Chains A and B, each alone.
Chain A
Amino acid sequence: KAGVTQTPRYLIKTRGQQVTLSCSPISGHRSVSWYQQTPGQGLQFLFEYFSETQRNKGNFPGRFSGRQFSNSRSEMNVSTLELGDSALYLCASSLFSGSPGEQFFGPGTRLTVL
């Protein structure tokens, strides 16, 4: 079974631009969560989608948004990029939502904002 995939793997943008990241979960997994990983703040939860609905949201500004499609693939969008948005963005998939269980992480998208 193929693992979680993320595209692109690396991205360089400038301040003020917007970016869209994509995540394809493991086949059969319906829950996709997004995390921001930085050296200073560690792994921080952004949001979780299940069956095309946002189920949980972390403490991030409205510039961070996401969506999930009927095939469970998910996209994350960041608008009006700031230097502090430079980070590794990880998505993770799991079978269910609302019941803590194993999450499988993707390789991440390394975003650099200049």
Chain B
Amino acid sequence: GENVEQHPSTLSVQEGDSAVIKCTYSDSASNYFPWYKQELGKRPQLIIDIRSNVGEKKDQRIAVTLNKTAKHFSLHITETQPEDSAVYFCAASSRGSYIPTFGRGTSLIVHP
């Protein structure tokens, strides 16, 4: 089955810096890659997603890049703010199985 590795497990940055979280996947049939943000005590919420026919997608301060050949995708957050502090999860799923596999999560801490 699919295996998703996510790094780093913890990321500490200063306000205004950029943050990058990386994920690799194993199943070349995976074609949908969402990123979820989970604040402490709250539910995961989709912040951005990308499909395999696109290499990059941006939404304000957040961007996701996908390298299908290398089977990895990354979340980029620019100009980080304290409210960006949360756990971020990547996931991969395919049209064939649909079962989404999540990474273990990255705890992002943005220091004011």
| Known A56-B98, A97-B98, A100-B95: A43·B44 in contact at CB below 8 Å | yes
Nearest B-chain residue to A45, judged by Cβ: B99
**Which A residues, 37 to 93, have Cβ-Cβ distances below 8 Å to chain B?**
42-45, 48, 55-56, 58, 90
| Interface residue range, chain A | 20 to 34
Complex interface: chain A residues within 8 A of B102 (CB) = 42-45
A45 B101 Cβ-Cβ under 8 A: yes
| Known A42-B105, A98-B95: A106·B100 in contact at CB below 8 Å | no
A42 B103 Cβ-Cβ under 8 A: yes
- 1/0 per position for B82-107, CB-CB distance to A under 8 A? 00000001010111011111111100
Nearest B-chain residue to A101, judged by Cβ: B32
Nearest B-chain residue to A56, judged by Cβ: B99
In angstroms, Cα B46 to Cα A4, docked, is: 14
What are the 7 closest A-B residue pairs judged by CB atoms, nearest first? A100-B32, A43-B102, A100-B93, A105-B43, A42-B104, A105-B44, A56-B99
Residues of A within 8 A of B (CB): 4, 33, 42-45, 48, 55-56, 58, 90, 97-108
